[in-house]
Amino acid sequence: MTTTAEVPGDLVVDFDIYDQSLAFPVDTVQDRVAELAQKGPVVYSTAHGGHWIVTRYKEIHDVLRDPETFSSYPNNLVTTTAGFGKFIPIELDPPEHTGYRLALQPLFSPNRMKALEDDIRDVINELIDGFAGKGEAEFISEFAHELPTRVFLALMDWPIDDAALFTDATDIILTGVPGASEEESNQARAEAAFKMLGYFQTVINQRRADPGQDVTSQIIHTEFELEGGKRLLTDEELNRMFFLLLIAGLHTVQGSLAWSIIHLVHNPDQRQQMIDDESVIPTAVEEILRIEAAVVPGRRATRATELGGVSIAAGDQLILMLCSANRDAREFDDPTRLQVDRQPNRHLSFGAGAHRCIGSHLARIELKLALEEIHRRIPDYALVDSDPAVMHSSQVRGCARLPITFTPES
């Protein structure tokens, strides 16, 4: 393992992606990471026992596409799974990863996701109905959190009434307890994970006995080609898979919806372009995803290697700042400027290589439909200066609170 003494002094930085002081004001993480990128493509943080931070597009892309050298386990710098095992399939490396990935792929195919469009649009308009007449909303609790939660629960055929349980548990698992010590936060994460595993096991038991046509039943009752032959997934594998699907599907879309509002308020010409021409919205979605990547994936070096001109030792941990890669001037023209019609747009927000996000089709549909309906129904939304956005910083960056105002629907 590399120690601070072995790293060139100018590459040692005081940066912790879990430091909540990075969350305010809104652009703090991006500003700090831009400073890191100025130091080099790979720098070294003293936080969490020491780890490398990869800041530039080329090096991040290389790491994502080389699972033999850079294992995806552990994906997190802090304990988020209470020691119950690896997230499936994101923390498995090929070839073990391959069978699980193929098992999930048909369930999240573009055609299957497209078939959900009418239902998702109905959910979006139902949520907007709840606040459109008021002229104000707390955008996260009334929309950006509710939308991916309801879509996920509908997809899995889990009770909508259980949404609050997922909200509390995933918040604690991702960000810990505000103001608590790392030890206290890890204890809370363990308790939240234990509660979620109990929930998943209840669902598994029910669907084993009474299967339906939902994704949950299909995952439980389908035999998959895994290492060792064709078989059903075990309860432990199912628990670990459901845990990942839940964590991955909620906060990422929530964050992207919030950033959409924030960036478009600050770019009124770009917003007007979307209002005037709905056909620009798909490229606008890609640009929102580019300019604010939510996920900060982790990797572990399996062997000594060199990356970005520095020597990485076997066992070293790395985090990949996708939000920085997406603003790399070597890859993108005018990278800090929002351009809703930007093409091409080879952002890395969904990752690359074997672990490229399997839910990307669903995320894109949710964001596209949400931006269509928001700009159709409440297009003049504005932020509230006296009650600014509350962001959070972790390996899944996002927004916890975002008050907005707009002209109420009559």
Q: How would DSSP label each residue in 172-203?
A: HHHH--TT--HHHHHHHHHHHHHHHHHHHHHH
For residue 83, the tally of other CB atoms under 10 A from its CB is: 7
* 30 inside domain: yes
Sign of the CA dihedral with 351 first, then 356, 358, and 360 last:
positive
CATH number at residue 157: 1.10.630.10
Report helix, strand or coil for 342: coil
CA atoms of 152 and 239, how far apart (whole Å) = 16
What are the φ and ψ backbone dihedral angles of 232, each rounded to 5 degrees? -75, 155
pLDDT digits (tens, 9 = 90+) for 208-218: 999 988 889 98
CA atoms of 217 and 140, how far apart (whole Å) = 30
Tell me whether residue 121 is exposed, middle or buried, using C-beta atoms within 10 angstroms of its C-beta: 0 to 12, 13 to 18, 19 or more: middle
CA atoms of 266 and 83, how far apart (whole Å) = 43
Write out the H or E segment, with its range, that includes residue 405.
strand 403-405
The whole-model pTM stands at 0.94
Half-sphere exposure (Cβ direction) of 170: Cα atoms closer than 13 Å: 26
Report helix, strand or coil for 375: helix
What pLDDT score was predicted for residue 82?
Answer: 53
* 360 inside domain: yes
pLDDT digits (tens, 9 = 90+) for 72-127: 999 989 865 555 678 889 999 999 999 899 888 877 888 888 889 999 999 999 99
* 83 inside domain: yes
CA atoms of 119 and 110, how far apart (whole Å) = 15
* Paired tokens of 34: 């831009």
pLDDT digits (tens, 9 = 90+) for 224-279: 888 878 999 999 999 989 988 887 888 899 999 999 999 999 999 999 999 999 99
Whether the Cβ atoms of residue 328 and residue 37 lie closer than 8 Å to each other = yes
pLDDT digits (tens, 9 = 90+) for 117-173: 999 999 999 999 999 999 999 999 999 999 999 998 888 889 988 888 887 788 788
The structural domain count of the chain equals 1
- Cβ neighbors of 367 (< 8 A, separation 6 or more) are 253, 256, 257, 260, 285, 288, 289
pLDDT digits (tens, 9 = 90+) for 318-373: 999 999 999 999 999 999 999 999 999 999 999 999 999 999 999 999 999 999 99
What are the φ and ψ backbone dihedral angles of 99, each rounded to 5 degrees? -65, -40
Percentage helix, strand, coil for the chain under 3-state DSSP, each rounded to 5: 50, 10, 35
Q: Which of 374, 343, 173 is nearest to 265 (CA)?
A: 374
* 410 inside domain: no
Domain range enclosing 172: 4-405
* 122 inside domain: yes
CA atoms of 22 and 27, how far apart (whole Å) = 8
CA atoms of 211 and 223, how far apart (whole Å) = 14
* 135 inside domain: yes
DSSP 48: G
Tell me if the bond preceding 211 is cis, omega within 30° of 0.
no
Q: Which of the four pLDDT bands, split at 50, 70 and 90, describes residue 32?
A: very high
Query: What angle is formed at CA 250 by the lines to CA 132 and CA 289, rounded to 5 degrees?
Result: 80
